[in-house]
Amino acid sequence: MSCNTFGRLFRFTTFGESHGPAIGCVVDGCPPRIPLTETDIQPWLDRRRPGQSKFTTQRQEPDQVRILSGVFEGMTTGHPIALMIENVDQRSKDYGEIKDRFRPGHADLTYWLKYGIRDYRGGGRASARETALRVAAGAIARKVLGETVTIRGALVQMGPWTIDRAQWDWSAVDDNPFFCPDRQAAQAWEGHLMEVRKRGSSVGAVIEVVAEGVPPGLGEPVYGKLDAELASAMMGINAVKAVEIGAGFAAAALSGEENADSFRMDTGADGQRRVVFGSNNAGGILGGISTGQPIVVRFAVKPTSSILAPVPAVDLHGNEVEVSTRGRHDPCVGIRAVPVGEAMMACVLADQMLRRRAQTPDVPDSPILPRP
């Protein structure tokens, strides 16, 4: 299996399976002399960790991260940073009934057709368990970006139920089990999701990730566009089926005047005159390059494929069968995709920032927009 590495200058390679002894990753390209310990990574892993509420899988994994290399006396050395997380609560026997059956909607069939072998225990590499490593790498990427860049994610739709954007409150995101910025919607979702779980079914979700404080000038046209790399990063997350930047698909219904993010000049609190945008339909990116506005990305996560409700399938011998996946699964896998989306945003931005510094370090500051 190839393509287990993500990024160019700031890049990480993951390894391990859902029901193996451990999962891990190696982060390469991190600059030296950045303060880093396990306590900088663990809080982000804790946000993604399973078993924290009745609305996620009850697999009890502490997701305790260990730094094995690349850090000395609390500082990065510039060498590869190896991270490991032990798997401690595998229940492989739960998958015994489906070891010869292909679950619809899952990667079982395609893995078998491509490799002639698959790890049926929780899906192996196809499991969302692997995303813990992306979150760990994202924690290091945040350190590279520094405190001026803020990356936040929220669940804005669960199944057919959407939030009221007029009620958006970032402080509400950590006060409910759904990372929902609308407190009233979060309360309603509890009943909706409990009903879905009782039916042995699942629902999808839409996640929005916003990066603020991103300097202008990140992105490399024509084939290294920032929005293209963000779309690729989000599409690479398990169960993601669609990505949009800024207004996204809604832009198709706008007129040219409505969609245009008009410019004007304004004087800031520091007395400097800068370009100000009238809107942000572009999601903070023009021509593949960041504008300095907030970068806004949304992605859609399909309903969890592993469900208790029986669905028609086939087995290794070509027999038509039914599959009912027992075990511990998320009725809405999109919930725990929120910190994963944040992490992938951080990794792309850190990579692009390092590439920016390497490619054009001597371009003078713009009189209307400061450089990174």
Q: What is the DSSP string of 339-371?
A: HHHHHHHHHHHHHHHHHHHHH-TTPPPPSSS--
Contacts of 47 (CB under 8 A, 6+ apart): 135, 338, 339
pLDDT at 54 over 90: no
pLDDT of residue 39: 97
pLDDT at 371 over 50: no
CA distance 168 to 180: 9
If one counts every other C-beta atom within 10 angstroms of the C-beta of residue 362, the result is 4
Tokens of 93: 């026997």
pLDDT of residue 325: 75
Is residue 168 within 8 A of residue 302, CB to CB? The reply is no
Q: What percent of the chain has pLDDT over 90?
A: 73
The pTM for the full model equals 0.92
Q: What is the mean pLDDT of residues 310-318?
A: 92
CA distance 277 to 260: 10
